[in-house]
Structure 1
Amino acid sequence: MSVLVLHQIGSVHALPYARWFDGYDGDLVLLTCAQNLAGVAEELPGADEGFAHAEAVEGYDLSGTLEARALDLARRHGIRHLVSVHERDLDRAAALREILDLPGQRPDAVRPFRDKLVTKAHAAAAGVRTAPHREVHTATDLLAFTAEHGFPVVLKPRDSAGSMGLRILHTPAELDAYLAEDFDLYGPDQPNLFAEAYVEGPMCHVDGLVLGGRTVLAWPSQYQYALASYATDTGPRVDLTLDVDDPLAHRLLDFVERTLRALPGPADFAFHAEVFHTPDDDLVLCEIACRTGGAAIRDIVGLLFGVDPTEVWLRAQLGLPLPAPLNGIAAAAATGGRPLPRTMTGQLVLMKRPGRVVAVPRRAPDFPWVEKFRVFVEPGQTLEPARHSSDFLFTALVSGRDRAEVVSRVARLESWFLGELVLEAP
């Protein structure tokens, strides 16, 4: 009996699969993306990291390549469970489970979270506010939508992840240029594209865990930047948890709970919901995913509640005992209580940008409130603009008693890091 892990994006070594699956009676098998391994400058993990078999797949993203290797390994290793943690692997993992008749999330439970139009349809039917939107099959669809709703207009693939493929058109001239140069009626994005009215106001996100069909923990944060600007944003991208006495925090929790009840999801999953807070103090659903959020959200939830949401999510799928700190949290949730975070946090991210790395700090400064510190580049490396919203130069996580203290500490850490970083212009 073995468990197969699909790992498409980011560091493999940063996810301690063997520790997470402690107690599993079987082998651990890994399929990862060869191009991703090269991008994060890592070698394949081996037996010393708990893998009976690890393989980097060339053409991981190409239709059928990954699936063929997964089906072959399923026969050779007696795969009985299949897990994936990345957004773009969820559909493929669900389809493979159905083919192999494995337990876990199947396509009908993934689609309401992965297909943004299906998400919005379920949410709207339950009275959850969404932005006006329309599927785009032709240029006429897009022109009609902008005529009705004006500019800016947001264009997204229905199943995008990490803000990839997202476009914001601000003027009729930008729309004309897009239709003339980039709109391909017969291309791979058709009919996968939809248009959405632009929503003013900051983006909030709520991250949590559902076990046995019940939300056992969740807490909101607020991005202090525009998610879609990852390729051009060279400034600090800061994400702050909301204070426990902030009324907006509890409104967001209620809003996302209504959204979860509207979606036919699996019994056990982590979730990452994004919600606009408009200037007129309304909440509008952007999207919701049935997986742990990216960047340092795993660590944020860990600091808030004392458990790693990805570890809990994966162990629940395999029927393994859950971490002890979760017992008290789950008990409180079962009686209608709302677990409150133990601390406040702030995430600081700098994206890759063009240039040659001359010097970069490898260790965190001696600030006791720095909870996580990771650098993704090395001296001598030549960088290009970020390719997706997780293409980081540097990430850090700080803690504090309240949001004001976290804001001050994030600014101090950013100033220190930029003072140590030397980039040579391309």
Structure 2
Amino acid sequence: MTVLVMHHRGTLTGTPYLDWLADYDGDVLLVASREHLALVSEELPEEGGAFRRTAAVDGYETSGELEARVLEFAREHGVSHIIACQELDLERAAGLREVLGLPGQRMDTVLPYRDKSEMKRLVTAAGLAVAPYRDVECATELIGFAEQHGFPVVLKPRDSAGSVGLRILDSRAELDAYLADEFDLYGPDQPNLIVEAFVHGSMCHVDGLVVDGRVALAWPSQYQYTLASFATDTGPRIDLTLDLDDPLAHRLLEFTERTIEALSGPADFAFHLEAFHTPDDEIVLCEIACRTGGAAIRDIVRTMFGIDPSESWVRAQLGLPLPEWIGAEKVLPRQMSGQLVLMKRPGRVVSIPQEPPPFPWIEKYQVFVQPGHTMKAAKFSADFLLMALVSGRDRAECEARLRKLEEWFLAGLVLEPVAD
């Protein structure tokens, strides 16, 4: 038995595969992105230690070297499972499993979670609400959609992740400027664009785990900000779990189960669903991913339920034991959680708080810059200055604690402007 791990983004420290697989009776191989290891200042582990074989791939996202190296390792070591936890690796891992005849998620169960157009088609057929949408293959289709549904309209790649490539066009003037300066009929995003009507309301997300084809655990949270504003939002971006007695929480859980049933996913996977709660009290699907949510979602689930969803996802795929309570009926969070994010913004960091915050209810605290670092506007939705997580008895207590933490951090943050 040999498992091969594809590691695209994030730190190896933050995704401790070897700890997760400590009781795995076989070898573990690692293929990682050289570029992203460098970005997080990590070295590729040496071969022959805990990892039997390791490789760092140049051009991981765009070249075929990743597939070549995985197939090479598979031939040499009889790989029995491929593990891939990052969004942009899901399709590539599925294709490699098909070529090698390996168990796990295949293309037919990946694409409904990666292709937003197919996702919306299947969910609509199941009687669930989605925003009006259409695929965009020419400028006329985009103009016609805007004339039919009005502004704003939302434009995004069908297979995007982390809000990369997302555009909100608020007026005909903005649409005309986009068509004149950015729309490329034969560019890399064509014919890969989808346009949606803008949905007013708050954004909620539901995070959980499917084991043996059924939702084993899940709970909703609600963003207190607009996701697409990451490049310009310098205020606190707060995310709060919903209370146990909140009727919306239980409606969102039912909506999530129906969505997963409509998409016919794999037997074992983590998921991150985003849905709008409109002023008319309707739940409308934004999208769902068959992987753990980004930012501090893993830590939010860990705080609520006491398990790491990515670890449980990996172990379930390999048939390794999970906590006995996973799969029990109506598992409820043991406590609530809240997340605070501050995005990077232009400026040079003069000083930041150097000591950990003096609050016992902090579950995670991470600063992504140091004095002397020059920041630019955030480039994607996880381009953070600060990320922190707290626990509490309910939503109100979590929010009060996040506000207190924000005030403490900003009191010690000093930035100076820099020339463009």
Other-structure match for 1:102: 102
After TM superposition, the score normalised by the length of structure 1 is 0.95
Once the two structures are superposed, residues 43-76 of structure 1 have per-residue CA deviations (whole angstroms, 9 ceiling, x without a partner) of 2244698323333221111142321222122223
- Aligned in 2, Cα 1:204/1:17: closer, same or farther, shift over 3 Å? same
**Which residues of structure 1 form unaligned runs of 5+?**
none
Number of aligned positions between the proteins: 418
Matches within 5 A, 1:140-151: 140-151=140-151
User: How many Å separate the matches in 2 of 1:134 and 1:63?
Assistant: 30
Work out whether 1:394 is the aligned partner of 2:391: no
Other-structure match for 2:72: 72
Moved more, 11-20 or 227-236: 227-236
Work out whether 1:291 is the aligned partner of 2:288: no
Deviation at 1:377, TM superposition (A): 2.1
Work out whether 1:137 is the aligned partner of 2:137: yes
Query: Over aligned residue pairs, what C-alpha RMSD do you find?
Result: 1.5
* 1:125 aligned partner, one-letter code: A
User: How many Å separate the matches in 2 of 1:65 and 1:189?
Assistant: 23
Moved more, 96-105 or 178-187: 96-105
* Alignment equivalent of 1:414, drawn from 400, 406, 414: 406
Deviation at 1:210, TM superposition (A): 0.7
Other-structure match for 1:239: 239
Once the two structures are superposed, residues 131-189 of structure 1 have per-residue CA deviations (whole angstroms, 9 ceiling, x without a partner) of 10000000010011011101000001110000000000000000000000000000011
After TM superposition, the score normalised by the length of structure 2 is 0.96
* 1:156 aligned partner, one-letter code: K
Moved more, 387-396 or 163-172: 387-396
* Alignment equivalent of 1:352, drawn from 344, 349, 353: 344
User: How many Å separate the matches in 2 of 1:359 and 1:6?
Assistant: 37
User: How many Å separate the matches in 2 of 1:393 and 1:218?
Assistant: 28
Moved more, 376-385 or 141-150: 376-385
Once the two structures are superposed, residues 198-230 of structure 1 have per-residue CA deviations (whole angstroms, 9 ceiling, x without a partner) of 000110000011111111111000011111122
* 1:236 aligned partner, one-letter code: P
User: How many Å separate the matches in 2 of 1:158 and 1:76?
Assistant: 36
- Aligned in 2, Cα 1:105/1:146: closer, same or farther, shift over 3 Å? same
Other-structure match for 2:250: 250
Deviation at 1:78, TM superposition (A): 2.6
Deviation at 1:16, TM superposition (A): 1.0
**Which residues of structure 2 form unaligned runs of 5+?**
none
* 1:235 aligned partner, one-letter code: G
SS of the equivalent of 1:190 reads coil
User: How many Å separate the matches in 2 of 1:133 and 1:49?
Assistant: 51
Partners of 1:40 and 1:376 within 8 A in 2: no
* 2:208 aligned partner, one-letter code: G
SS of the equivalent of 1:328 reads coil
Matches within 5 A, 1:326-337: 327-331=324-328, 333=329
Aligned sequence identity (%): 64
Other-structure match for 2:166: 166
Other-structure match for 2:19: 19
- Aligned in 2, Cα 1:279/1:257: closer, same or farther, shift over 3 Å? same
Moved more, 386-395 or 49-58: 49-58
